[in-house]
């Protein structure tokens, strides 16, 4: 076995060898935080700590798998296989399986994915006869999620007048009622949603001290990666489990906190020192991942955030290339540039597809990039978006499997009761649902004893027969499950239910690919069975398989060895690294996102996102933006993102003519355009491009150098005639009066007193003012 400490610098060694007591490592990107965690676990096992006593929580299950492999290769043997490692959700789902009955849930509870949850919410909203324009199902679910992640149960919600009042004044007074109905519905279906996995774990650990003691005793060494993105619920779980031995090591980077919008709480970092008064804090400063240019560019941007811990990240790597900036005429032009550049680097530097990543702010941006890569025959994989397991044919087959383990799973039952069609129509289904409600039974109970309940359901004989046939089939699968492995059972389900037959009837390319998907699912079932058999604590049950699927993150699917360009949102790229990274769509209103410019906090989160994106690059980063882009079904104009301005020319190489000039005019103006510390810049609003001025053209001859006028907002009204005392209208600040004007005509600035916004100093050529 090799000497573990050989691969580490002095500070990293210290972090790895500090195995006892609370330890926090807050350090910049690429400084080896994840590496330290990996080596620390290897070191613990090496020291003789039973892998059974180690718990490591990671951002994705894929990250956990990779860490395990690395640990195995460091220390040899099979010990690492049995480590408890994974996301919070997957680790605690596993614990809940063992303990669910204490909470009144069946141990084979179903895990609802977001789509299942939204379906339930939709039904609740419909039954309460509420307006879905006011109660948007996804939004309501988001609200419920926030409650759960802050441990606000239905009961505590209704005991808290402030919360009730907040929903009432947001014109959504029924939110609490929906919450209650949703929770009841899930409970009846024996189902937990993602947030329940954390909420219920907290409940378990609080209500049952003996359970808490059991897991405290088991997990003597606890490690958490990406600690900056834990939410309150996760924080409490870790704190409870660690409170006995206090061997807890958390690693993270406040500058990479990018999930505040989903409830992540950066205060967890600050609380650490309060919770553990003897906590050691070890900073890591040397970046091993990226070139100097990339490290310094990233430092420059993030230093503009006010809320951050001081860090000094440096690297001894070579300076590397400046970051090329490509100004595209359209999203298609941008995509073609990216594809051409990948093609060139593959030829000139023998790079492989997998050395490249294209990162974007929103999933929708992948389409144009995909098209361009396809045209050049470059293999790629899009992460996120609709995952394999969310495809209809897969969800249908999985719904059968879900019923087998948890017959109470109403979402699954309703999905397949008449799929493939077997003549059980909506009327019959509705009668069943109404009957079940009236009798206080679940649907599966009715079906199980249909002869008994039949008279009170108002069903005809034909419907009765069909239901009996359906349920007999389900029961036969359940019997099979007792003796056969999950692969065999799933095969039987696919054939006997008629799913395969009905899919095969469609011989269009789409139909064929659906059948292939089912085949792929079968392969993964087979793989799962074999994998589990090799583990000491392996669990080849269907239940476990379904749990893995429900908790697979967007990164977890897919064949990893493939040589493909990675396309993903920046959120997904956290923790990853690639030799070459294209950061595309660097436009105002896209990145930073239009939705996230209302407060300084939001803008700072966007900036952290930018920091995460840039620090994924090892050798080279590219910036691209498009001056017109197809969004929401129309062409909109785009302006370069402020983040490029913040990086500064020093680290960038601007490829297109005149960009530098317009850039220069833009830099240094912040304090002139803003007079308080944060006001969203008065950027050009998104509007359909006027074809005469949009400048879309594929012919380079027509490429107009950008002048200030094209980059700046068009001046409305006659500004040259602007005088002190004029009344003006500004599209964001509203009405105001000109107090003073200064500077030469080209760069004139005016102080304007707005009725509602107070005084602001505006550079006239950028300001969108109308003289009244």
**Alpha helices, DSSP H, located in 27-87:** 33-46, 61-75
Residue 242 annotated as binding site: no
Is residue 329 a contact partner of residue 627, using CB atoms and an 8 Å limit? yes
Sign, CA dihedral 387-391-393-396, equals positive
- Please say which residue, 354 or 466, places its beta carbon nearer to ligand ATP: 354
Region 80-99 residues binding ligand ATP, contact defined as CB under 6 A: none
Residue 48 annotated as binding site: no
Is residue 584 a contact partner of residue 359, using CB atoms and an 8 Å limit? yes
Cα dihedral: 689, 692, 695, 699 (round 10): 130
Is residue 62 a contact partner of residue 319, using CB atoms and an 8 Å limit? no
CA 279 to CA 18: how far, in whole Å? 11
Q: How far is the CB of 59 from ligand ATP (least distance, A)?
A: 9
In the block, which residue shows the tokens 């310094």? 296
Is residue 22 at the binding interface for ligand ATP, with CB under 6 A as the rule? no
- Of the candidate spans 5-13, 601-609, 709-717, 737-745, the one that interacts with ligand ATP by CB under 6 A turns out to be 5-13
Is residue 320 at the binding interface for ligand ATP, with CB under 6 A as the rule? no
Which of 8, 41, 446, 636 forms a contact with ligand ATP (CB under 6 A)?
A: 8
Cα dihedral: 333, 331, 343, 510 (round 10): -120
Active site residue 220: no
Q: Which of 12, 33, 396, 554 is catalytic?
A: 33
Which of 22, 23, 26, 35 forms a contact with ligand ATP (CB under 6 A)?
A: 35
- Rounded to 5°, the CA angle 84-609-257 comes to 45
Q: Which of 38, 234, 256, 569 is catalytic?
A: 256
Is residue 58 at the binding interface for Mg ion, with CB under 5 A as the rule? no
- Tokens of residue 271, six digits: 């609380």
Residue 153 interacts with which of Mg ion, ligand ATP, none, CB < 5 to 8 Å by class: none
- Please say which residue, 285 or 520, places its beta carbon nearer to ligand ATP: 285
Is residue 12 at the binding interface for ligand ATP, with CB under 6 A as the rule? yes
Q: How far is the CB of 9 from ligand ATP (least distance, A)?
A: 5
Residue 33 annotated as binding site: yes
Which of 11, 22, 23, 34 forms a contact with Mg ion (CB under 5 A)?
A: 34
- Please say which residue, 295 or 722, places its beta carbon nearer to ligand ATP: 295
CA 508 to CA 145: how far, in whole Å? 40
CA 377 to CA 367: how far, in whole Å? 15
Is residue 260 a contact partner of residue 294, using CB atoms and an 8 Å limit? no
Is residue 33 at the binding interface for ligand ATP, with CB under 6 A as the rule? yes
Q: Are strands 628-631 and 634-637 parallel, antiparallel or unpaired?
A: antiparallel
Q: Which of 193, 196, 225, 370 is catalytic?
A: 225
Residue 31 interacts with which of ligand ATP, Mg ion, none, CB < 5 to 8 Å by class: ligand ATP
Is residue 555 a contact partner of residue 414, using CB atoms and an 8 Å limit? no
Residue 695 annotated as binding site: no
- Of the candidate spans 28-36, 154-162, 296-304, 447-455, the one that interacts with ligand ATP by CB under 6 A turns out to be 28-36
Cα within 13 Å of Cα(211), Cβ side:
19
Is residue 591 a contact partner of residue 361, using CB atoms and an 8 Å limit? yes
In the block, which residue shows the tokens 């080279």? 620
**Alpha helices, DSSP H, located in 667-769:** 670-673, 708-711
Q: Identify which of 480, 447, 449, 479 has the alpha carbon closest to the alpha carbon of residue 466.
A: 447
Is residue 406 at the binding interface for Mg ion, with CB under 5 A as the rule? no
Q: Put residue 473 in one of left, alpha, beta given phi > 0 → left and psi -120 to 50 → alpha.
A: alpha
Region 570-589 residues binding ligand ATP, contact defined as CB under 6 A: 575, 577
Q: Which of 193, 196, 226, 556 is catalytic?
A: 226
Residue 672 interacts with which of Mg ion, ligand ATP, none, CB < 5 to 8 Å by class: none
- Please say which residue, 43 or 289, places its beta carbon nearer to ligand ATP: 289
Question: How many amino acids of this chain bind ligand ATP (CB under 6 A)?
Answer: 19
- Of the candidate spans 309-317, 375-383, 571-579, 611-619, the one that interacts with Mg ion by CB under 5 A turns out to be 571-579
Region 604-633 residues binding ligand ATP, contact defined as CB under 6 A: 615
Active site residue 60: no
- Please say which residue, 79 or 229, places its beta carbon nearer to Mg ion: 229
Is residue 292 at the binding interface for ligand ATP, with CB under 6 A as the rule? no
Is residue 32 at the binding interface for Mg ion, with CB under 5 A as the rule? no
Q: How far is the CB of 484 from Mg ion (least distance, A)?
A: 42
Residue 9 interacts with which of ligand ATP, Mg ion, none, CB < 5 to 8 Å by class: ligand ATP
Is residue 174 a contact partner of residue 181, using CB atoms and an 8 Å limit? no
Residue 743 annotated as binding site: no
- Rounded to 5°, the CA angle 670-672-678 comes to 55
CA 430 to CA 436: how far, in whole Å? 10
Query: 530: which residues sit within 8 A by CB, 6+ positions away?
Result: none
Radius of gyration of the chain (CA): 29
Q: Put residue 714 in one of left, alpha, beta given phi > 0 → left and psi -120 to 50 → alpha.
A: beta
Is residue 289 at the binding interface for ligand ATP, with CB under 6 A as the rule? yes
- Please say which residue, 53 or 256, places its beta carbon nearer to ligand ATP: 256
Active site residue 225: yes
Which of 190, 540, 575, 585 forms a contact with Mg ion (CB under 5 A)?
A: 575
Residue 190 interacts with which of ligand ATP, Mg ion, none, CB < 5 to 8 Å by class: none
Percent helix / strand / coil, the chain, rounded to 5: 50, 15, 35
Q: How far is the CB of 359 from Mg ion (least distance, A)?
A: 16
With helix as H, strand as E and coil as C, how does 352-395 read?
CHHHEEEEECCHHHHHHHHHHHHHCCCCEEECCCCCHHHCHHHH
Query: 199: which residues sit within 8 A by CB, 6+ positions away?
Result: 148, 149, 151, 153, 233
CA 238 to CA 246: how far, in whole Å? 10
Active site residue 341: no
- Please say which residue, 34 or 497, places its beta carbon nearer to Mg ion: 34
Strand-pair partners of 640? 587
Residue 21 annotated as binding site: no
- Tokens of residue 163, six digits: 């919360």
Active site residue 331: no
Active site residue 687: no
Residue 12 interacts with which of ligand ATP, Mg ion, none, CB < 5 to 8 Å by class: ligand ATP
Residue 613 annotated as binding site: no
Is residue 299 at the binding interface for ligand ATP, with CB under 6 A as the rule? no
Is residue 31 at the binding interface for Mg ion, with CB under 5 A as the rule? no
Is residue 694 at the binding interface for ligand ATP, with CB under 6 A as the rule? no
Region 239-268 residues binding ligand ATP, contact defined as CB under 6 A: 253, 256
Is residue 288 at the binding interface for ligand ATP, with CB under 6 A as the rule? yes
Q: Which of 40, 564, 616, 760 is catalytic?
A: 616
Q: Residue 29, SS3?
A: coil
Annotated binding site: 27-34
List of residues contacting ligand ATP (CB under 6 A): 7-9, 12, 27, 29-35, 253, 256, 288-289, 575, 577, 615
Annotated binding site for ATP: 27-34
Which residues are annotated as catalytic?
Answer: 33-34, 225-226, 256, 616
List of residues contacting Mg ion (CB under 5 A): 33-34, 575
């Amino acid at each position: 076995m090799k000497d573990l400490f050989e691969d580490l610098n002095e500070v990293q060694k210290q972090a790895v060898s500090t195995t006892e007591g609370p330890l926090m490592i807050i350090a910049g990107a690429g400084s080896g935080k994840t590496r330290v965690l990996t080596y620390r676990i290897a070191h613990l096992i090496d020291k003789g700590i039973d892998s059974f006593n180690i718990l490591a929580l990671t951002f994705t299950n894929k990250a956990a798998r990779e860490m395990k492999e690395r640990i195995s290769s460091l220390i040899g043997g099979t010990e690492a296989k049995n480590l408890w490692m994974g996301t919070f959700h997957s680790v605690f789902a596993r614990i809940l399986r063992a303990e669910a009955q204490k909470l009144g849930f069946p141990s084979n509870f179903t895990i609802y994915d977001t789509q299942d949850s939204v379906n339930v919410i939709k039904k609740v909203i419909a039954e309460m006869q509420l307006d879905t324009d006011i109660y948007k199902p996804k939004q309501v679910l988001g609200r419920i999620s926030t409650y759960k992640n802050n441990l606000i149960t239905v009961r505590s919600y209704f005991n808290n007048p402030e919360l009730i009042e907040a929903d009432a004044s947001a014109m959504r007074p029924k939110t609490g009622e929906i919450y209650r109905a949703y929770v009841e519905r899930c409970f009846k279906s024996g189902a937990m949603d993602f947030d329940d996995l954390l909420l219920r774990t907290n409940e378990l650990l609080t209500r049952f001290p003996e359970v808490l003691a059991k897991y405290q005793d088991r997990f003597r060494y606890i490690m958490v990666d990406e600690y900056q993105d834990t939410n309150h619920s996760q924080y409490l779980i870790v704190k409870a489990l660690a409170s006995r031995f206090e061997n807890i090591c958390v690693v993270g980077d406040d500058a990479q906190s990018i999930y505040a919008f989903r409830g992540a709480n950066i205060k967890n970092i600050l609380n650490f020192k309060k919770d553990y008064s003897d906590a050691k804090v070890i900073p890591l400063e040397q970046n091993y991942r990226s070139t100097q240019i990339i490290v310094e560019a990233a430092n420059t941007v993030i230093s503009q955030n006010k809320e951050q811990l001081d860090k000094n990240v440096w690297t001894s790597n070579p300076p590397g290339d400046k970051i090329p900036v490509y100004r595209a005429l359209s999203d298609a032009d941008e995509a073609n540039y990216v594809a051409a550049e990948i093609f060139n680097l593959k030829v000139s530097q023998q790079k492989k597809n997998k050395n490249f990543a294209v990162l974007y702010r929103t999933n929708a941006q992948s389409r144009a990039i995909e098209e361009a890569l396809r045209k050049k025959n470059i293999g790629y994989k899009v992460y996120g978006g609709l995952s394999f397991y969310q495809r209809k044919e897969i969800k249908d087959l999985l719904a059968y499997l879900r019923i087998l383990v948890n017959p109470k799973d109403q979402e699954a039952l309703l999905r397949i009761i008449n799929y493939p069609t077997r003549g059980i129509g909506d009327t019959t289904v509705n009668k069943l649902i109404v009957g079940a409600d009236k009798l206080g039974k679940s649907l599966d109970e009715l079906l199980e004893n249909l002869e008994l309940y039949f008279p009170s359901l108002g069903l005809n004989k034909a419907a009765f027969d069909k239901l009996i046939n359906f349920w007999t089939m389900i029961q036969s699968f359940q019997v099979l499950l007792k003796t056969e492995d999950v692969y065999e059972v799933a095969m039987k389900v696919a054939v006997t239910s008629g799913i395969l037959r009905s899919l095969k009837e469609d011989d269009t390319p789409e139909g064929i690919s659906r059948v292939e998907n089912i085949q792929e699912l079968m392969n993964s079932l087979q793989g799962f069975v074999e994998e589990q058999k090799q583990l000491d604590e392996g669990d080849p049950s269907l239940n476990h398989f379904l749990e893995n699927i429900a908790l697979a993150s967007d990164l977890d699917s897919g064949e990893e060895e493939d040589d493909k360009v990675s396309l993903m949102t920046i959120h997904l790229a956290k923790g990853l690294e690639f030799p070459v990274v294209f950061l595309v769509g660097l436009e105002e209103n896209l990145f930073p996102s239009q939705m996230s410019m209302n407060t300084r906090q939001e803008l700072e989160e966007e900036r952290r996102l930018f920091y995460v994106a840039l620090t994924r690059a090892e050798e080279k980063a590219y910036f691209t933006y498009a001056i017109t882009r197809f969004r929401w079904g129309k062409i909109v104009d785009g302006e370069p993102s402020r983040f490029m301005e913040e990086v500064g020319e020093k680290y960038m190489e601007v490829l297109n003519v005149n960009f530098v000039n317009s850039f220069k005019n833009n830099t240094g103006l912040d304090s002139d355009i803003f007079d308080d510390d944060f006001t969203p810049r008065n950027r050009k609003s998104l509007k359909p491009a006027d074809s005469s001025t949009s400048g879309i053209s594929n012919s380079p001859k027509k490429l107009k150098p950008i002048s200030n006028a094209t980059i700046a907002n068009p001046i409305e009204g006659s500004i040259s005639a602007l005088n002190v005392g004029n009344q003006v209208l500004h599209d964001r600040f509203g009405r105001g009066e000109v107090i003073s004007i200064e500077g030469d005509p080209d760069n004139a600035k005016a102080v304007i007193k707005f009725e509602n916004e107070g005084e602001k100093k505006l550079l006239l050529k950028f300001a969108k003012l109308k003289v009244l």
